[in-house]
Amino acid sequence: MDYRYGRHTVFKIQYHFVFVTKYRYKVLRGDVGLKVRSLIRQTCEAFEIEILKGVVSHDHVPILVSSPPNMAPSEIMRRVKGRSSSKLFQSFPELKKRYWGRQFWARGYFCATSGELTEEVIKDYLDHHFEPKGDDNFQTED
């Protein structure tokens, strides 16, 4: 188990998100895809959200993150999608022609929790101390 440590908490909260470009336009290629990856990384780092695995596909981003307990999934998506959208329009003004409504991402998203605690794991936790590990596994499809 890879638990994370806060000032007064020990936690393992993981979310699997999938969010798509508006109209499913396949614009997350080349420089745009790399910029999206960079913006998501920056946003997650600013809010202590750890990216466990992710891919920037041509029209969507599936990502597995570890979140601190004070961040609701809706707040994570609001920050990631909102910040990346506005910064993308600044970096790539030509996107404004395609997305005339100032929204780069489709309105909704998919979210599922990732859990694996069993009685055996809990007993094992009571017998051992776990050290946190960091891993950077966020890639683009191109």
Per-residue pLDDT tens digits of the chain, which is 142 residues long: 688 898 899 998 999 999 999 999 999 999 999 999 999 999 999 999 999 999 999 999 999 999 999 999 999 999 999 999 999 999 999 998 888 878 999 999 999 887 655 556 556 655 653 444 445 456 565 5
pLDDT at 42: 97
pLDDT at 136: 47
pLDDT at 120: 66
pLDDT at 34: 96
The two three-digit tokens of residue 117, written as one number: 């605690």
pLDDT at 121: 59
Report how far residue 58's alpha carbon sits from residue 24's, in angstroms, rounded to the nearest whole number. 9
pLDDT at 133: 43
54: domain CATH number is: 3.30.70.1290
With H, G, I as helix, E, B as strand and everything else as coil, classify residue 99: coil
Of 5, 23, 99, 125, which is the active-site residue?
125
Nearest to 114 by CA among 73, 55, 61: 73
The count of domains in the chain is: 1
Write out the residue range of the structural domain in which residue 49 sits. Answer: 4-140
pLDDT at 63: 92
Tell me the sheet residues that pair with 62.
Answer: 18
Beta strands in the chain (DSSP E): 4-5, 10-11, 14-20, 50-56, 60-66, 110-113, 138-140
- The pTM for the full model equals 0.78
| Residue 125 a catalytic site member | yes
pLDDT at 116: 59
